[in-house]
Amino acid sequence: MNPDLRRHLPSFRREAHAAPIGLYLHVPFCLDRCTYCSFATTRDRGLQPDTIRRLVQEVKDWGAELGRPPVDTLYLGGGTPSLLSAAELTDLSVAVRDAFDLAPLVEATLEANPGTVDAGWLGLARDLGWDRVSLGVQALDDALLARLGRIHGAAQALESLDLARAAGFARRSADLMVGIPGQSLSKVVEDARTLAATGLEHLSIYLLDLDKACPLRADIDAGRLHLPSEDDVADAFEALQDELPRLGLQPYEISNYARPGGESIHNTRYWERRPYLGLGPSAASHLGSCRWTESSVIQAWAEGRGELELQELDGAESLSEIPLLGLRLHRGIHWGALCEQAERMNLRPLCDAWETRLRGLAAEGLVQWEGDRVRLSSRGMLLSNGILQMFV
């Protein structure tokens, strides 16, 4: 364990035994790089055996250091976890079961990419205890998928959802992207309808994010491709806000819709600011008053010499995170409880200043107060990036 983290080990242990934590494992490999991707992943599969061996060891070491703490949500993300071999998936799953107490487990999600799953792999995952699958669909249009550099077509994406159901994954989620060059509003809505018709219980809607350097950004900067206008993108999000509830998928977070009871329990813990441990290159953790991110340099991480980014949160930072994350949820947050907590921390003026600004936004229809709860309105959700800046 990194010496900076070891200093905090007693408080990590306390927190990890006060209530079940979440465990996130990161698999940083992909068959090919999508044109819009800036995640710390690689297609150099030669690094995979050592990286997964190290990940298995990290699971064992952290489980032992924390005293086999209880875990209620598991998430195997990436990258493309469905590139794990059967032996790697088995080793990792068994290591988690041995090193952590899974008695309170309520959800075990793995991410998969269409084009990398078959019935055998999904059946094995199900047998190993994974009970929810999240598929990176992004769009159901072959031309748009090719533009994004995805390795699959639309038919393969739908087939993967069917394969997952046939393998026993009653809980299935898909990602859909908005703002792709050449994507029409009617096509976004049509794709959402097609996905809902597969019976999936959860849909994540993401805006194509090209903040960092990537091939698609270069094509746009060079004028070879054009992003839809901001108005068109806003219209697409509004159309989905209207359409998805009609399809049985209710919004519960800025980017996420689910059938009743189908919300992602693991991801909700991030917005509720509940503790989690993340293992793997670039994985993030939040335990006690610490947040840290592991090295994104995959080979360095696999060799145990990656640099860690550690942040020790002070009282004001911890308090700010409650509305910053909690207002992403449609149910919002309990403002009275936040103010009481601020009072105990001698930070009441900070809370009062936020309230003044939120009351102003309520007058503009961006925020809603319901008794002692506060939440963003539908329009506030569309403008959330700007609104939530007040807590940063």
Q: Which is nearer to ligand SF4, 125 or 177 (CB)?
A: 177
Q: DSSP of 17-42, one letter per residue?
A: HHSPEEEEEEE-B-SS--TT--SS-B
Q: From the CB of 349, what's the least distance to ligand SF4, in Å? A: 42
Min separation Cβ 120 and ligand SF4, Å: 21
Nearer to ligand SF4, 113 or 268 (CB): 113
First to last CA, the chain: 30
Supply the DSSP string of 160-220, one letter for each residue: HHHHHHHTT--EEEEEEEE--TT--HHHHHHHHHHHHHTT-SEEEEEE----S--HHHHHH
Task: Compute the half-sphere exposure of residue 211: CA atoms within 13 Å on the CB side of its CA.
Answer: 3
Say which residues have a Cβ less than 8 Å from residue 330's Cβ, sequence separation at least 6.
Answer: 251, 252, 253, 375, 381
For residue 79, cis peptide bond before it (omega within 30 degrees of 0): yes
Nearer to ligand SF4, 82 or 268 (CB): 82
Give the contact letters, 16-45, x = binds to ligand SF4 (CB under 6 A), - = no: --------------x--xx--x-x-x----
Least separation in angstroms between residue 142's CB and ligand SF4 is 16
Q: Name which of 111 and 253 has its Cβ closer to ligand SF4.
A: 111
CB of 40 to ligand SF4, least distance (A): 9
Q: Say which residue the tokens 């393969």 belong to.
A: 156
* Residue 96, SS3 per DSSP: helix
Residues 134-163 that bind ligand SF4 (CB under 6 A): 136
Compute the least distance from the CB of residue 9 to ligand SF4, in Å. Answer: 31
Coil, helix or strand at residue 126: helix
In which element (H, E) is residue 356 found? Answer: helix 348-363
CB of 255 to ligand SF4, least distance (A): 15
Comparing CB distances to ligand SF4, the nearer of 251 and 280 is 280
Judged by CB under 6 A, the number of residues near ligand SF4 is: 11
Helical (H) or strand (E) element with 65: helix 48-65
- Where in 55-94 is the site for ligand SF4 (CB under 6 A)? 78-80
Tokens of 305: 């010499």
Q: Closer to ligand SF4 at the Cβ: 163 or 361?
A: 163
Least Å distance, CB 81 to ligand SF4, is 10
Q: Which is nearer to ligand SF4, 215 or 365 (CB)?
A: 215
| Three-class SS state of 306 | coil
Token output for 26: 């990161």
What would the x/- binding string for ligand SF4 be over residues 99 to 118, using CB under 6 A?
--------------x-----
Where on the chain is the footprint of ligand SF4 (CB under 6 A)? 30, 33-34, 37, 39, 41, 78-80, 113, 136
